[in-house]
Amino acid sequence: MIAANMFKLVVNQVSMLTIPLLFFMIIGYAMCKRVKVYESFTEGGKEGFEIFLQILPYIIAILVGIGVFRASGALDYISDLIAPWTLSIGMPADVVPVALMKPLSGSGSLGLVAEVIQANPDSFDAKVASTMFGSTDTTFYILALYFGSVGIKKTRHAMVAGLLADLAGILAAVWVCHQVFK
C-alpha cells in the first residue's frame, strides 16, 4: 500500500513539473544557441495568424456543411438506415451518430457523445461513445483544412486511408468495450 501511494505521489509530481521544465529547457537551449527567443516567438505568432486567415474559409465551409447535415435530419436518417448492421456487430444504436459525425467534426461528435453520456453516464453506450470518440479522427475536417490551406486539389488516397482508419477505430472501440465492460 505504501509503495502504491509513493508511486502515485511521484507520478503526480512529475506530471505537475513536466510542462514547466520542458518550457524552461527549450528557452534555455535557445538562449545557449543565441536565438532571440522573444522575437522568434512573436514572429511565429504573426505567421500563425496569417495561416489562420488562410484556412478560415475552409473552417467556415466545413462547419456550415456539418450544421446543414445535422439540421436536415440526414444524420438521423443514415443512422436509422445502418442501425441493423451496427447492432449485428454489437454497436449500440445511440452511438451510431457519433461514428458518423466524428469524421466530419470533433466538436459536433463531442456534442453527440455528451448527449449519450448525459442520458446515462455509466452505461455501456456512454463507454462505447467515449472510446470511439478517442479512437477516431476528424478525417474530412483535416482534409478540408490541411489540403485546402495549401491548395492541394487531388488528395489521392488520403480520404480512403483516413476513412479506413476511422472504421478501424470504430470497430476496435466496439470490440474493446465488449471485452472490457460486458
Q: What is the pLDDT of residues 58-73, one digit of tens each?
A: 778 877 887 888 889 8
Say if residues 146 and 159 touch (Cβ distance below 8 Å). no
Of 134, 135, 137, 133, the residue nearest 161 (C-alpha): 137
Q: What is the pLDDT of residues 32-57, one digit of tens each?
A: 999 888 899 899 999 989 888 887 88
Confidence of residue 1 (pLDDT cuts 50, 70, 90): low
**All 3 cell numbers of residue 67?**
450544421
Q: What is the mean pLDDT of the chain?
A: 89
Three-state secondary structure call for residue 148: helix
User: Can you give 169-182 as a three-state secondary structure string?
Assistant: HHHHHHHHHHHHHC
C-alpha to C-alpha distance for 52 and 148, rounded to whole angstroms: 12
Q: b vs e for 57-76, b when ≥16 Cβ sit within 10 Å of the residue's Cβ?
A: ebeeebeeebeebbeeeebe
Q: What is the pLDDT of residues 98-143, one digit of tens each?
A: 999 999 888 889 989 999 999 999 999 999 999 999 999 999 888 8
pTM of the model: 0.67
